[in-house]
Structure 1
């Protein structure tokens, strides 16, 4: 909010522009008229996007990409299903922990996971293990850190708190008896972390077998690629995982060395930075070389101007905010994959992120026409 709360007083009329992320205090009649007209135009635009909602995300020349939803719980599944998401590409489980103000017991977690899995039907649900630290804290002294983004967080926290980790893994595995569940570890920085996590996972599987608990013996295990070291050894990670998911938010800030929550340097956080885009392509290429599917999540995945680029790079799926699914699907259905591949080649030759954004926006506008 910055200093917004200091400027707003009781009785003020507030206009909220959710598209641009701004508020207008006591808007004039002209401003209200302008926004009323804009709202009508956006409604027509959204209606056009929604008219294609039940169609597959397939380009004009027949190349498909899976569009999946990001969720934090069963309460978001109604919208995800209404938007025809092809499953859950990122189930942020820390939302459950935050709602329960701590570390909920196995049965509570199991019911939460099961509700999402059952609501997703036959579609896959990719459950990310607990990712606390950084910008997500539960309020426990165990996760406090002077440098939380690069400290004791995510898989590091889980491996350092095995009892908490095992409880979650048990609940996730049990939920896999009710649908198509996949599991992925956040912030994997090297092969040894992946192997250590899998060792705990295998031990939990054996516990459940001994207890006679049902679970999917063939459950797939993946890793999030959000640390530069993981991107560099993508061939090694791809060889030991069933799938990979690029967490673009953290990957960008680690690549550029910028804390996106620090107002003094937040302007340096740049999804279109050439280093970011080259790294994304290298990860996707590494996954393809090993025949390991690669998904994209984070802010880039939820920004429609990047959809053509990600498809052209060869991403297998995009996981994004449910409300943006119709626009991205409409866009994909109005482009050719060959054009998207040419876009990638052109963008990779550019050195200025402003030029890159301009190129991406031009590609989007050409596909969407007046709807852009």
Structure 2
């Protein structure tokens, strides 16, 4: 142990697990040359060739990594493939060359400018899952910077003992190289819980914390570190008392995880007969098998946007058809709910890059699809053609009016007629649904329910729109409150409207996988919950330890609360009493998002500190 005092720092939980060991610090260095310079006209061609040559070498490195791990990629080869595409994407490759040629800047300077422009584009994406794809762009650029700087060393070659590794960032390819007994876990300065780095770490079962900038800044190479991938906590130079405490936490977590794993493939049904379908949110075909292994009863949200980003042109029907067919085949006979495109027009290859003053309320999602019928019908054709290969459900995002629903159904009918005329098989009875994430849609849910086969409540956007909150704005992020009475009443209104019309009502926002919300959602009568795959066995266990009648009584009591504070107080009493293993003294508490644990008490304290935990 180090002689300095212990330091406890929180990052973002990326992959659960508790590990304790010495840290190998791989540095925070960004490979940038400080002496950027302008070029003479005679140097421009040579500099372009230097940049192109380095990109060729990076491409060769990535292909070698892909080949090296081809037999053990667990289906994540597409991530490396996406990095190969990004190397040649116009945002980085073409733009860097243009800056070298037009502005006479050296390759490092030009690439830095191009990367900052790409960051700005991604920062305007409302969906956090898609916004975090900027990390892939940064990781690809960092490989180029490293070779431009003449750095070719293998940062993993020196690992010859069990360590926790720390660095500014790791690419998904780096995580593949951690698949040995020497790497206990890792933490980084950069990254988010939905980054590809985090996704691969969870798949491989490597405990990880990302976004821990202060921990990376203060870590001392070789010192003992506690890495808690459950809560996102990192303790540098822990005291003997903290070590003893975390060795016990480690034992408890392993024991609890072993118990929870037994619930993965059990029916999500309460002892008194209430059944709730528990499904997974994914964005890549490769995540499907992992979802099923965690006990998913289907895919409740397949984000289709990934295949539109980072491309020089829109994906064609053939490419989309292959993606949709592959996911349906992989999951069959389980249902797959594919959401049509849900990004802004300025994020598309041919989009207007001028931006909008308020993109979250601008031309995005179904508005964009209806504005570009050719693009929309291309996606619908691919979906319908793939529908014969499995159990497909099509879902349309950000619906706000009956006019939009009728327009969508009109285009769907057109595409069906075209396919029938071409004698291309498709499922004529494919179920269609809409996301309820706009307050206007909540108000007319009873009318909309007559036109669709199911509702899925997107709580992330619904909460933001209902409370006029931007979660990305630190000045108001603390006001993003899932237990706000207005939000709970909206959910109740949608459930009642859907059930009155005889259609299923599900939820695919973060609330669906938040165990502190689960009893309330059961009491409200949700038919389906879709969440991060790793949350599924935990949620199933809670469902099987719930009593439907008690959950209904809880929901009724909550609707007598006038504020979020009162709701938290009520849950603070209810959860430990009904779920002692999760919320009682020494319990594992609550699984939020992709693995970060929070107690109801934590949330109440967060309100006091005016920040969301």
Residue matched to 2:528:
317
- Residue-by-residue CA offset, 1:114-150 (whole Å, 9 max, x unaligned): 111111111111110000039x945664373221111
- Structure possessing the higher radius of gyration over alpha carbons: 2
| TM-aligned CA deviation for residue 366 of structure 1 | 2.6
Residue matched to 1:128:
339
Residue matched to 1:35:
246
Q: Distance in 1 between matches of 2:571 and 2:321?
A: 42
Residue matched to 1:365:
576
- Residue-by-residue CA offset, 1:273-327 (whole Å, 9 max, x unaligned): 0000011001101111111110011110010111111111111100111101111
Structure 1 length-normalised TM = 0.93
- 1:237 paired with 2:448, answer yes
Residue matched to 2:216:
8
- Residue-by-residue CA offset, 1:91-136 (whole Å, 9 max, x unaligned): 11112223656521111111111111111111111110000039x9
1:69 touches 1:85 (CA, 8 Å); kept in 2? yes
1:331 touches 1:367 (CA, 8 Å); kept in 2? no
Residue matched to 1:148:
359
1:309 touches 1:360 (CA, 8 Å); kept in 2? no
Q: Distance in 1 between matches of 2:555 and 2:477?
A: 26
How has the CA–CA distance of structure 1 residues 101 and 41 changed in structure 2, closer, same or farther, with 3 Å as cutoff?
farther
| TM-aligned CA deviation for residue 198 of structure 1 | 1.3
| TM-aligned CA deviation for residue 41 of structure 1 | 1.2
| TM-aligned CA deviation for residue 52 of structure 1 | 1.9
Structure 2 unmatched ranges of 5 or more: 1-188, 191-210, 584-613
How has the CA–CA distance of structure 1 residues 95 and 362 changed in structure 2, closer, same or farther, with 3 Å as cutoff?
farther
Residue matched to 1:109:
320
1:72 touches 1:96 (CA, 8 Å); kept in 2? no
2:215 touches 2:234 (CA, 8 Å); kept in 1? no
How has the CA–CA distance of structure 1 residues 297 and 361 changed in structure 2, closer, same or farther, with 3 Å as cutoff?
farther
- 1:46 paired with 2:257, answer yes
2:227 touches 2:233 (CA, 8 Å); kept in 1? yes
How has the CA–CA distance of structure 1 residues 299 and 137 changed in structure 2, closer, same or farther, with 3 Å as cutoff?
farther
Moved more, 141-150 or 38-47: 141-150
Matches within 5 A, 1:214-293: 214-293=425-504
- Please give the secondary structure, in 2, of the residue aligned with 1:74: coil
- 1:330 paired with 2:541, answer yes
Give the RMSD, CA atoms, in angstroms: 2.3
Q: Distance in 2 between matches of 1:308 and 1:259?
A: 27
Matches within 5 A, 1:61-76: 61-76=272-287
Q: Distance in 2 between matches of 1:17 and 1:108?
A: 40
- 1:158 paired with 2:369, answer yes
- Residue-by-residue CA offset, 1:26-46 (whole Å, 9 max, x unaligned): 555544443333232112112
Q: Distance in 2 between matches of 1:155 and 1:146?
A: 19
- Please give the secondary structure, in 2, of the residue aligned with 1:98: coil
How has the CA–CA distance of structure 1 residues 140 and 263 changed in structure 2, closer, same or farther, with 3 Å as cutoff?
farther
